Structure 1
Amino acid sequence: MRKAGPLTVDLGKRGAEADHAVEALLARVGDRVRRAREARHIPRRVLSEMSGVSPRYLAQLETGEGNISIGLLTKVACALDLSVERLVGADDPWSSEVLRVSELFRRADRGMQARVLALLEAQAPEGARAQRVCLVGLRGAGKSTLGRLAGEALGVPFLELNAEIARIGGMPVAEIMALYGAEGYRELEAEALEGVISAHERIVLAVGGGLVAESATYERVLERFHTVWVKAAPEEHMARVRAQGDLRPMAGQPEAMQQLRTILRAREVLYERAHAQLDTSGATLDESLAAMKALLADEGFLD
Structure 2
Amino acid sequence: MVMATRTNPTAESALANSESDLLLSELAHRIRTLRAQRGMTRKQLASQSGVSIPHLARIEGGEGNVSVSLLQKLAAALNVPIHDLLSDGTSQNADLTMLVQFLKQQPPAELARLRQTLISTPEFATVERHQRIALIGLRGAGKSTLGAALAGQLEIPFVELDRMIEQEAGIAIGEVITLYGQTGMRRLERRCIERIIETYPRVVVATGGGIVAEAATYELLLRTFLTVWLKAQPDVHFERVMAQNDARIATRTLHREALEHIHRMLDAREPLYRLANFTVDTSNLTVKQALRQVVENVQPDTVIPN
TM-score range, shorter chain: 0.5 to 0.7
What SS does structure 2 have at the residue aligned with 1:127? coil
Identify if the C-alpha distance between structure 1 residues 191 and 285 changes in structure 2 by more than 3 Å, giving closer, same or farther.
same
Matched, 1:197 2:180: no
Task: Please report how far the alpha carbon of residue 225 of structure 1 lies from its aligned counterpart in structure 2 after TM superposition.
Answer: 1.2
Q: How far apart, in 2, do the equivalents of 1:287 and 1:250 lie? A: 29
Counterpart residue identity of residue 161, structure 2: L
Contact 1:47-1:266 at 8 Å conserved across structures: no
Matched, 1:87 2:90: yes
Aligned runs of 1:29-68 on 2, under 5 Å? 47=30, 49-52=32-35, 54=60, 56=62
In the alignment, which of 281, 284, 291 is matched to residue 283 of structure 2? 281
What SS does structure 2 have at the residue aligned with 1:87? coil
Residues 18-48 of structure 1: CA deviation (Å, up to 9, x unaligned): xxxxxxxx9xxx8xxx9xxxxxxxxx98655
Task: Please report how far the alpha carbon of residue 87 of structure 1 lies from its aligned counterpart in structure 2 after TM superposition.
Answer: 2.6
Aligned runs of 1:192-271 on 2, under 5 Å? 192-248=192-248, 249-250=250-251, 252-254=253-255, 255-271=257-273
Counterpart residue identity of residue 215, structure 2: S
Identify if the C-alpha distance between structure 1 residues 90 and 174 changes in structure 2 by more than 3 Å, giving closer, same or farther.
closer
Task: Please report how far the alpha carbon of residue 298 of structure 1 lies from its aligned counterpart in structure 2 after TM superposition.
Answer: 4.5
Partner of 1:146: 146
Partner of 1:121: 120
Task: Please report how far the alpha carbon of residue 252 of structure 1 lies from its aligned counterpart in structure 2 after TM superposition.
Answer: 4.6
Identify if the C-alpha distance between structure 1 residues 298 and 104 changes in structure 2 by more than 3 Å, giving closer, same or farther.
farther
What SS does structure 1 have at the residue aligned with 2:204? strand
Identify if the C-alpha distance between structure 1 residues 120 and 179 changes in structure 2 by more than 3 Å, giving closer, same or farther.
closer
Identify if the C-alpha distance between structure 1 residues 102 and 271 changes in structure 2 by more than 3 Å, giving closer, same or farther.
same
Q: How far apart, in 2, do the equivalents of 1:179 and 1:155 lie? A: 37
Calculate the aligned-residue CA RMSD, in Å: 4.2
Partner of 1:166: 166
Q: How far apart, in 2, do the equivalents of 1:265 and 1:176 lie? A: 26
Counterpart residue identity of residue 267, structure 1: R
Matched, 1:186 2:189: no
Q: How many residues align?
A: 254
Partner of 2:135: 135
Residues 100-130 of structure 1: CA deviation (Å, up to 9, x unaligned): 56756745599xx39x835642233462625
Identify if the C-alpha distance between structure 1 residues 144 and 234 changes in structure 2 by more than 3 Å, giving closer, same or farther.
same
Identify if the C-alpha distance between structure 1 residues 184 and 295 changes in structure 2 by more than 3 Å, giving closer, same or farther.
same
* Structure 2 unpaired stretches of 5+: 1-18, 36-58
Contact 1:51-1:76 at 8 Å conserved across structures: no
Contact 2:31-2:85 at 8 Å conserved across structures: no
Task: Please report how far the alpha carbon of residue 50 of structure 1 lies from its aligned counterpart in structure 2 after TM superposition.
Answer: 1.0
Identify if the C-alpha distance between structure 1 residues 154 and 222 changes in structure 2 by more than 3 Å, giving closer, same or farther.
same
Q: How far apart, in 2, do the equivalents of 1:85 and 1:101 lie? A: 13
Q: How far apart, in 2, do the equivalents of 1:190 and 1:76 lie? A: 13
Counterpart residue identity of residue 271, structure 2: V
Identify if the C-alpha distance between structure 1 residues 117 and 299 changes in structure 2 by more than 3 Å, giving closer, same or farther.
farther
Identify if the C-alpha distance between structure 1 residues 267 and 117 changes in structure 2 by more than 3 Å, giving closer, same or farther.
closer
Residues 127-182 of structure 1: CA deviation (Å, up to 9, x unaligned): 26251111111000001111110110111211101111122122332333343333
Task: Please report how far the alpha carbon of residue 71 of structure 1 lies from its aligned counterpart in structure 2 after TM superposition.
Answer: 6.2
Identify if the C-alpha distance between structure 1 residues 102 and 123 changes in structure 2 by more than 3 Å, giving closer, same or farther.
farther
Contact 2:131-2:203 at 8 Å conserved across structures: yes
Partner of 1:23: none
TM-score by length of 2: 0.67
What SS does structure 1 have at the residue aligned with 2:292? helix
Contact 2:229-2:279 at 8 Å conserved across structures: yes
Identify if the C-alpha distance between structure 1 residues 292 and 176 changes in structure 2 by more than 3 Å, giving closer, same or farther.
same
